[in-house]
Structure 1
Amino acid sequence: MDKLSLLKARNEEILAAGSEIRKKLAEIIDGDSFVESDSYSFSRNEFYGEDVPGEGVVTGFATVNDFPCYVVCLNSQILGGGLTDAGCKKIVKCLDKALNAKAPVLYLLSSKGVVAGDGVSPLEGVSEVLSAMDELKGEVPQFAVCIGDVFGQASLFVAAADYTYFTKDTCVAYGSPVVIAAKSGKYADKAAIGGTASAKGNDLAYFEVSELSEVATSMANILDILPDYGGTELETMDDANRACPALNDKADAASLIKAVFDENYFVELGAYFAKEVVTGIGRIGGYSAGAVVFDGKDGVELNNANIKKLQDFYWYCDVNNLPVVTFVNTLGLENSLSLAATPVLKEVSDLISLLKTDVPRINVIYGKAVGLGYTLFGSKTFNVDYAYAFANAKIALFDSNVGAEMELVAKGGDYEEIKKRYEDDEMDAVNAARKGYVDDVIEPQYVRQYVISALMTLV
């Protein structure tokens, strides 16, 4: 057989071995944009004479909605998508190229973890991949799409990515059901261990998709907002002076996002985890920005889960050079025995370090800023450039219930009457403005105009 015929035969063998993973990849990328790299770097040391032809890892380059990106696929057709030393080196090589090009990385993951029988070498390989992924954090966006089961050390690839997509039957867990059942002696339900519902609860699943084509749309929406890919400022057809009269009567996360952000330019991140704190990115008057909205009728109480979400998001905005607008409605730490038994105070201390970011920060107190809630998110001390308060916002040392009870004990009187007076007088946002703690007390319906004006001076 001549060299060209041999090459053709080998290529056909490789394509056949990776046919399923390529079909799934084709649902996300643009047309025939995929260019494979290192196709002859196989999962085992030798290719010829093996029972299993092909590769456990497919890498290359493609475009997604015209955004260039690098691609890493774990091919479950070969060795169950198992990780080998050769496969890991192939991944690292692709990630190094992505870092040099400042191009996003798309992972398609379906793997049973490290391949047994190759000694410690695959473990060394996984450590190199995780190190390379960590090097990319804050440098290029990493999108992980879980298209099947992802077990063992491969599950760490999901956790290391910036954006994660789960399909209906996905299961991501360090210990597979078989391993957990063997150790515990009890049946282990795959969905309970690491199914999509479980992953939503532990902050591993950012998005759930029913079709892989949805990933392409989501990726494009995110990249279009990030300054390094979509630009810091874009022209917008949305009126910068648009008012939202409904905010004068009621404000919550949904209405604030709709009122402030440009139409069709907001992507919520981490929607399934700590839902009382809404985080996301978008454009405001054409400017890229991140948003934190404390979404609770009577003010959000802080706990370990939402503090972790806040830590991650403020860090994310910092490394992506995104100004942060924080819509404040929080009472501070939850008072409970269960929370007191956790290292929550250390978590708050770590959060403070992340609040002191170098990117522009704007605070809008739209509900309550009480106690520690004000200290962390109402005060301008932690590198906040502008602080606004709605005219009906409440800012105080104590919530009205506590304030009224303290006065009732000290002076006596009617509880409801004292409570109302405390809310009207002691919690009035004007008091904070008089002392210079708040830059302006504003009519809620005009909040978009104030935020855009602030961004114009900061970006």
Structure 2
Amino acid sequence: MSNSAKMSAKQRIEALVDENSFVEIGGLITKRNTDFNMQQKAVPADGVITGYGVIDSNLVYVYSQDVTAMGGSVGEMHAKKIAGLYEMAVKAGAPVIELIDCAGIRVQEAFDALAGFGEIYMAKVKASGIIPQISAVLGSCGGGVAVASKLSDITLMDAENGKLFVNSPNAVLGNREEKCDTASAKFQAEAGNADIVCDSEGEVLSKIRELIGLLPANAGASAEEETADDMNRMLDGFDAYKTDAAEALTQIADENRFIQLKETYGPEMVVGLMKLDGATVGAIANSKEGVLSTAGCKKAEQFVYFCDSFGIPVITLTNVKEYASSMEEEKTISQAVADMMYAFASADIPKINVITGEAYGSAYVAMNSKHVGADLVLALDSAKVGVMDATVAAQVMCQDEIAKEADTKSALEEKAKEFEALQNGAEGAARRGYVDNVIEGTSVRKHLIYALQMFGMR
């Protein structure tokens, strides 16, 4: 979609909500400021259309900034309309969707515009954890508007026209030589600031509709629906997906629909939303690298807090051997792991862990293990659970004994086999109560659904 094909502010709302369902609020409100001859400038609706409608019969509140009215810039009344919309949405217990296309602060209104930013920030903070907030960056989203977008729960970007930045790319120190487009969807997604990137604004709006179907209307509501997918559907060949976390979660999900968030940020961890037997769940999984990284842990931590706020149960697929190792990681990894572990341990939602591959050392403990609060832990019959790889453990424990043998290789293999049988297998962990059930990969979906039913989430 080219710039010339961009929708108008009203068209975006009409494409988002169900047909003929949108009701505008405050359409006659306009600017009050008269400084710099502002009274001579027409600013319809003060540059932002606000109101409510429904998406698949779910009530939503929406605002859409009008780039044709002073660039959709934020002035006093513009901000009051947005803050007022949030107040209504909180009272009604319904999500707010922000369609952002904004030139930033309205300089002519100076102090009043700055106060308006504060009103928007405060409204979003008060609504945090009470109603879902979704931001869609469809045009420019710079400076203080970019800050506001990060107070939302989920931020989407149109890859072609969306620009998200605090400082203009030309003003970023050190960027004169590289000339990197730091406002682009690619850059901001890799930085963790854009949760979902779409190829067009139409695709963004479609994805928002899908998200509304997954998310509860508010912190006290559920998001259950009927599904035609068989709860007992077997996952043939599931073991082949153990190293492809996103595909594994897609196979588990109702109708194989899994929405991944922050895909290119901290790719060592996969997070996202899906349905299981019609109930919304949050999913977190280690990717094929099998390591905990700073970015991956931060991503998981933020997602757990989000799910906890809205009563969304969390499932984890654990396949982790170690921590990421580099000079930069060494500065941050311990804090990031601790913060993620704290999020898991303190969350009051049902937490179900499935050990799908290798689960070693304190990295395994931090990854939603029973030791830090998982309510139910399942393990595939092929999983490895323990302090470290069995061969490495045998070398550490039996080095002198192995050295005395004529065939050291066979001796090492024998000791490793003994260690694995006693301390590294899924059954060994189950005998000690650290795993609640050992299952086959084909039955993961139904066991997760049984667990959700047990916890009263379905």
Calculate the TM-score normalised by the size of structure 1: 0.86
- Of residues 265-274 and 306-315 in structure 1, the stretch that sits farther from structure 2 once superposed is 265-274
CA contact (8 A) 2:268 2:292 kept: no
1:260, distance to aligned residue in structure 2 (A): 2.3
Specify the alignment match of 2:318 in structure 1.
328
Name the residue aligned to 2:428.
431
Note closer, same or farther for the CA distance 1:340–1:261 as it changes in structure 2 (3 Å cut): same
Maintained 8 Å contact 2:131/2:217: no
Deviations 1:343-375 (A, max 9, x none): x32333322221121111111111111111221
- 1:281 corresponds to which residue? 273
Q: Cα distance 1:419–1:290, how it changes in 2: closer, same or farther (>3 A)?
A: farther
- Matched residue, 1:417: 413
- Distance (whole Å) between structure 2 residues aligned to residue 210 and residue 403 of structure 1: 49
Residues 177 and 265 of structure 1: is their aligned pair in 2 closer, same or farther, counting only changes over 3 Å?
closer
Question: Residues 7-156 of structure 1 correspond to what in structure 2 (within 5 A)?
Answer: 20-46=8-34, 49-54=39-44, 55-156=46-147
Name the aligned partner's letter for residue 289 of structure 1: V
Equivalent residue of 2:254, what SS?
Answer: coil
- Match of residue 212 from structure 1: 201
**Structure 2 vs 1, CA of residues 76 and 395 (structure 1 numbering), >3 Å: closer, same or farther?**
same
- How far apart, CA to CA, are the structure 2 residues paired with 1:234 and 1:185? 49
What is residue 336 of structure 2 aligned with on the other side?
347
CA shift for structure 1 position 82: 1.8
Please say if residues 157 and 204 of structure 2, whose CA atoms lie closer than 8 Å, have aligned partners that are also in contact. Answer: no
Query: Deviation string for 1:196-230 (max 9, x for gaps)?
Result: 11011011222222343333432332222234479
Q: Say whether the 8 Å CA contact 1:92–1:129 is kept in structure 2.
A: yes
- CA distance in 2 between counterparts of 1:22 and 1:228 reads 23
CA-to-aligned-CA distance 1:176-208 (integer Å, 9 cap, x gap) = 24544xx7793784x621101101101122222
1:8 matched residue in structure 2: none
TM-score (normalised: structure 2): 0.87
Deviates more, 1:171-180 or 1:136-145: 171-180
Which segment is superposed worse, 118-127 or 45-54?
Answer: 45-54
The answer to whether the 8 A contact 2:146-2:165 is kept is yes
What residue is the counterpart of 2:302 in the other structure? 312
1:178, 1:188 within 8 Å by CA — same for their partners in 2? no
Deviations, residues 227-270 of structure 1 (Å, cap 9, x unaligned):
44794543322222221231245524244324422114432222
Q: Which segment drifts farther, 394-403 or 300-309?
A: 394-403
In the TM superposition, what whole-angstrom CA distance separates every residue of 1:50-96 from its partner, at most 9, and x where no partner exists? 13442222212222333221122222222222222222112111111
For structure 2, the residue ranges without an aligned partner over 5 or more in a row are 1-6
Which of the residues 385, 390, 404 maps onto 1:395?
Answer: 385
Which residue of structure 1 aligns with residue 264 of structure 2?
Answer: 272
Which residue pairs with 2:4 in the alignment? none
Instruction: Measure the CA separation in 1 of the matches of 2:327 and 2:433.
Output: 36
Matched, 1:455 2:447: no
Q: What is the CA distance between 1:407 and its match in structure 2? A: 4.2
Q: Aligned residue for 1:361? A: 351
Q: How far apart, CA to CA, are the structure 2 residues paired with 1:188 and 1:251?
A: 38
Which whole-Å CA distance do the structure 2 matches of 1:223 and 1:86 have between them? 28
Q: Which of 169, 188, 192 matches 2:181?
A: 192
Displacement of 1:434: 1.0
Q: Does 2:452 correspond to 1:443?
A: no
Q: Are the equivalent residues in 2 in contact too, given 1:331–1:371 (CA < 8 A)?
A: yes
Identity of aligned residues (%): 27
Aligned length: 435
In structure 2, the CA distance between the partners of 1:359 and 1:406, relative to structure 1 (3 Å rule), is same
**204-213 or 147-156: which moved more?**
204-213
> Alpha carbon RMSD of aligned pairs, Å?
2.6
Verify: 1:201 aligned to 2:190, yes or no: yes
Distance 1:158 1:434, change over 3 A: same
| Structure 1, unpaired ranges of 5+ | 1-18
Structure 1 counterpart of 2:73, which letter?
A: G
Give the direction of change, closer, same or farther, for the CA distance of 1:29–1:51 in structure 2 (3 Å limit): same
For 1:184 and 1:44, the matched residues in 2 are separated by: 41
8 A contact 1:234–1:287 mirrored in 2: yes
- 1:408: Cα distance to partner? 6.3
Structure 1: which amino acid aligns with 2:348? Answer: D
